[in-house]
Amino acid sequence: MTETGEPALATAAAGSPVPVADPARHQPEKTTKRPKRPKRDRPPGERSWLAGVFLFPAVVLLAGVVLYPLIYSIVRSLFTDKPGGGSGSFGLHNYKTIFTDHSTLVAVKNNIIWLVAAPTLVTILGLVFAVLSEHVRWATVFKTVLFVPMAISGLAVGVTFALIYADQPSRGLANTVTVGIHDLFSSQTGYPNLHIATAEAANYTGNPSTGFTSKKTFSPGSPALVPLVGLDIVHPPSGLTQAKQPANGPGLSGAVWNDFALGGGGKPGRIDPKELALKGVKVQAVRNGSVVATATVDQNGDFDFPSLTSGSYQLQLPGSDFQKPFGGFSWLGPNLITPAIIASYLWIFSGFAMVLLAAGMAAIPRDALEAARIDGATEWQVFRKVTVPLLAPVLTVVFVTMIINVIKVFDVVYIISQTAGQSGKDANVLAVDLYTDYGTQQYGLASAIGVVLVLVLLPAMALNIRRFRRGEQ
Amino acid sequence: MTTTTSGSDLVTGAINRGLAARIAARAGGGVLRIFLIVVALLWLLPTFGLLVESLRNSGTYTSGGWWDVFSHPAQLTWSNYSQLFANHAITSSFWNTVKITVPATFFVILIGAAAGYAFAWIEFPGRDWYFLIVVGLLVIPLQIALIPVVKLYNWLGISGSLLSVIIFHVAFGLPFAIFLLRNYFAGIPRDLMEAARLDGAREGRIFFKVVLPLGLPAVASLAIFQFLWVWNDLLVALVFASPTNQPLTVELAEQTRQFGSSIDILAPGAFFSLVIPLIVFLAFQRFFVQGVTAGSVK
């Protein structure tokens, strides 16, 4: 499990793990006295002593490493920090810091986002997958595939998803897909740093954000040359080839190219060898102030308005030609980093929820489902009115288990935020902040955060104990 | 629901069996199948991407994503892995992971089983109350113990050692271990215990010869849980292990700050770190699922 080495399944295991054979069945004559206890067949004193032997190592470890630290932390959280890790004055100062300091406040806010989003989404995804996978024959394979991330460490998950979300130096899967989908619907290819070549600049008005419009007009018969400069010719965008002299067609035509070649040498305003065609640039023909036709520059740098066989037109390169192409989202930037990490968390835990819920569904009596179907219920009604209510206890277990896990979330956040650099701070959660405060020797603040984590988990603890006691009866 | 294999029940109720309904059901079943295939592929994709990235020439990461290997198969190489295994820091941290995980798993089973046995089969005053404390401890986050235990280890003179990491893992694994095993042991038929006692077996003998063998399925699921927790742990080792004793997760985590330039170590390292838990998980999945579903489903 990717969490912090603790039972992730705290509540999942509440209750008895096996169909506990009722001891009363084996000892009917004893049931009136103490139905659930082993028979006292040896003196109680000796048995208590024996229990002590069997329990001793566990008691020592639990007392020394779990219980004592719990008390220590509660006490330490009430003293302020001094440089070097010493403790200062007594009071609730550290608790006030948690809710006023910027870094911890970000953590509190993110923990709330985690708590609202992650357990709900994990439970819903688990339920959907559990229900749907019942209808295919390869359900076992499907469940294994989704369950496997449970075995992977938070470190490996962090590296895996950092690769997916990466923007630099190469683009990760998430943005490659996003840009791909975006470009399907909008074929705009922009050349951010381009502008009209100096020699011709006086003949055009405008700027890269509004676009450029020619002052003079062009007519069919003589190709219009529109030289631009500013392309990164050392690392040109892929797919650009050398510009060629525009063919002289019946309509208005011309060329748009980068009027500068690597190594220089060409003449301004002329298409020289090695100068690249600016494929994809949009050219508009303007007459009396309105756009009458639009053409796109091709592989050779040509544009062509076959329908404009007479008259004279101004040429216009719209601002969209000079806009930066859509580069995807900044997944690990300040705004998206927490949702992005939560997504990696869903990848880990949805399979877990699905397996628990599928096991719960297997325990639902077949008759209940069949009866509903025979009564004419649709599959959706069966799901809503029979499956979900009967699954309610398991849904609760999954949900509470996820809450317990989410509050302590550390590994994935720690790793992914490290790869994110500066904006990593925006992913801060309490467990990570506690570790950072430990590193800076703010033991009081760290202890207070620990106590807050315990306090938030108290309802889950109470629920666990109640479930257990009910299970015992 | 699963008794019919066509999946037709998904879309229609059992009553509508007309031709149109059946066609709709087929189509629905097809859509469902495609949806689940897409989901499964989506779940495989991240790990697959990590694997492919780990097999690419150094330097290729800057030029493009891992899918470039489909157009440039020449990018594939074993050299990242041979460099990884030649890297002393990596191999020694891998052995540290083993040296931490194996004892931490063994002792949590031994100590947890002894305590679980006492809670299940030995009468002592206040037993039920003590067990409720164990149930309560299940939820305690280990973060609360980091600082006090660092001080405790300083006082004991074992800070930074492998032992200090192991002790912490055993202690925080115990509540779940005791809980799981006690509940399983309690289900062992009383007759068997009685018979062993009548034969004059002492508690130690009953524990090792009767309870542990019969409780093997629960022990197995505990073992795989604890193994995965400890093997995959980052935080505990980050706090307690000294640089020479740090496990693979910590060694690799230190490189994540320079993600782009460390990818030639990080990708194969991360994949290597997940291979062993993956094998263990797939081999013992049955026990893992038993542990997961234990008790939540009655």
- DSSP assignment of B155-208 equals HHT-TBSHHHHHHHHHHHHHHHHHHHHHHHHTTS-HHHHHHHHHTT--HHHHII
Q: What is the pLDDT of residues A402-431, one digit of tens each?
A: 999 999 999 999 999 999 888 889 999 999
Note whether A115 and A153 are same-domain residues.
Answer: yes
Co-location of A341 and A238 in the same domain: no
Higher pLDDT, A472 or A396: A396
pLDDT at A296 over 90: no
Shortest alpha-carbon distance between residue A303 and chain B (Å) = 32
A1 part of a folded domain: no
pLDDT at residue B98 tops 90: yes
Nearest to A471 by CA among A34, A30, A19: A19
Q: Is A331 on the interface with B (CB under 8 A)?
A: no
Residues A237 and A369 in one domain: no
- Mutation pick from B142, B206, B207, B208 vs chain A, by most beta carbons of A within 10 Å, is B142
pLDDT band at B20 (very low <50, low <70, confident <90, very high): low
User: Is the full-model pTM beyond 0.90?
Assistant: no
| Residue range(s) defining the domain that contains residue A404 | 79-169+330-472
Long-range contacts at B97-100 (CB < 8 A, ≥ 24 apart) = B97/B231, B97/B247, B97/B248, B97/B249, B97/B273, B99/B162, B100/B162, B100/B165, B100/B166, B100/B169, B100/B230, B100/B237, B100/B241, B100/B247
Prediction ipTM score: 0.87
Co-location of A229 and A163 in the same domain: no
Q: How far apart are the C-alpha atoms of A19 and A8, rounded to whole Å? A: 22
Q: In angstroms, what CA-CA distances link B195 with A265, B113, B186, B199?
A: 102, 21, 16, 6
CB contact under 8 A, A51 and B44: no
Provide the shortest C-alpha distance from residue B58 to chain A (in Å).
13
Shortest CA distance from A355: residue in chain B: B289
Q: Which residues does chain B have within 8 Å of residue A44's beta carbon, measured at their own beta carbons?
A: 123-124
State the total domains in chain A: 2
CA distances from residue B238 to A432, B37, B249 in whole angstroms, order as listed:
12, 39, 9
Residue at a domain's end among A322, A347, A379: A322
The Cα-based distances of B110 to A37, B27, B28, B207 in angstroms read: 23, 55, 52, 11
Q: Does A18 touch chain B (CB under 8 A)?
A: yes
What is the pLDDT, as a whole number, of residue A307? 86
Per-residue pLDDT tens for B166-177? 999 999 999 999
> Cβ B167–A156 below 8 Å, yes or no?
no
Q: B40-66 pLDDT, tens per residue? A: 999 999 999 999 988 988 777 877 788
CA distance B296 to chain A (A): 5
Contact A4 B35 (CB under 8 A): no
CA-based torsion, A409, A410, A412, A418: positive or negative: positive
- For the cut 50, the answer to whether the pLDDT of residue B86 exceeds it is yes
Q: Are residues A417 and A449 in the same domain?
A: yes
Query: For A119-157, what is each residue's pLDDT tens digit?
Result: 999 999 999 999 999 888 898 899 999 999 999 999 999
Looking at the structure, tell me whether residues A199 and A282 fall in a common domain: yes
Residue with tokens 């060329």: A255
Nearest to B197 by CA among A42, A24, A44, A45: A42
Specify whether A200 is located in the same domain as A281: yes
Arithmetic mean of pLDDT over chain A = 83
- From A170's Cα to the closest Cα of chain B, the distance in A is 5
Asked if residue A155 and residue A138 are part of one domain, the reply reads: yes
Mutate to test the interface with B, among A1, A2, A3, A6 (most CBs of B within 10 A): A6
Q: Is there a contact between A13 and B295 (Cβ–Cβ < 8 Å)?
A: yes
Contacts 24+ apart (CB under 8 A), A205-211: A208/A319, A208/A322, A209/A319, A209/A322, A210/A319, A211/A316, A211/A317, A211/A318, A211/A319, A211/A320, A211/A321, A211/A322
Chain B: nearest CA to A371, how far in angstroms? Answer: 11
**What confidence score (pLDDT) does residue A470 get?**
85
Q: Is A158 a member of any domain?
A: yes
**Which tokens hold the place of B285?**
């999945």
Residue A363 lies in a domain: yes
pLDDT mean over B238-264 = 91
Kindly state whether residues A141 and A272 are assigned to the same domain. Answer: no
A228, A255 Cβ separation under 8 angstroms: no
Answer yes or no: is A343 within a domain: yes
Indicate which CATH number applies to the domain containing A363.
1.10.3720.10
Asked if A144's CB is within 8 angstroms of B176's CB, the reply is no
Smallest Cβ–Cβ distance between A5 and the set B7, B46, B229 belongs to: B229
- CATH homologous superfamily for B87-293? MetI-like (1.10.3720.10)
Residues A299 and A394 in one domain: no
Q: Which of residues 369-388 of A touch B (CB under 8 A)?
A: 369, 373-374, 376-379
For A154, the 3-state DSSP assignment is helix
- Residue A59 falls within a domain, yes or no? no
Shared-domain flag, residues A249 and A313: yes
Task: Let me know whether A468 and A334 are in one domain.
Answer: yes
Contact A55 B115 (CB under 8 A): yes
**∠A345-B179-B140 over CA atoms, to 5°?**
50
Please name the member of B207, B236, B270 whose beta carbon is closest to the beta carbon of A156.
B270
Tell me the residue length of chain A: 473
CA distance B116 to A125: 35
Q: Is residue A6 in a domain? A: no
Contact status of A27 with chain B (Cβ, < 8 Å):
yes
Which residue matches tokens 């309560």?
B136
Considering the domain boundaries, does residue A270 fall inside one?
yes
**Residues 106..135 of A with a Cβ closer than 8 Å to B: which?**
129, 132-135
- Boundary (domain end) residue, out of A293, A322, A351: A322
Residue, of A34 and A182, whose pLDDT is higher: A182
Domain boundary among A306, A322, A338: A322
pLDDT of residue A332 exceeding 90:
no
- The band of A192, judged by pLDDT with boundaries at 50, 70 and 90, is confident
Residues 6+ apart with CB under 8 A from B284: B220, B224
Q: Does residue A7 belong to any structural domain of this protein? A: no
Mean pLDDT computed over B232-257: 94
* Residue-range domain boundaries for chain B: 8-81, 87-293
Closest B-chain CA to A85: B147
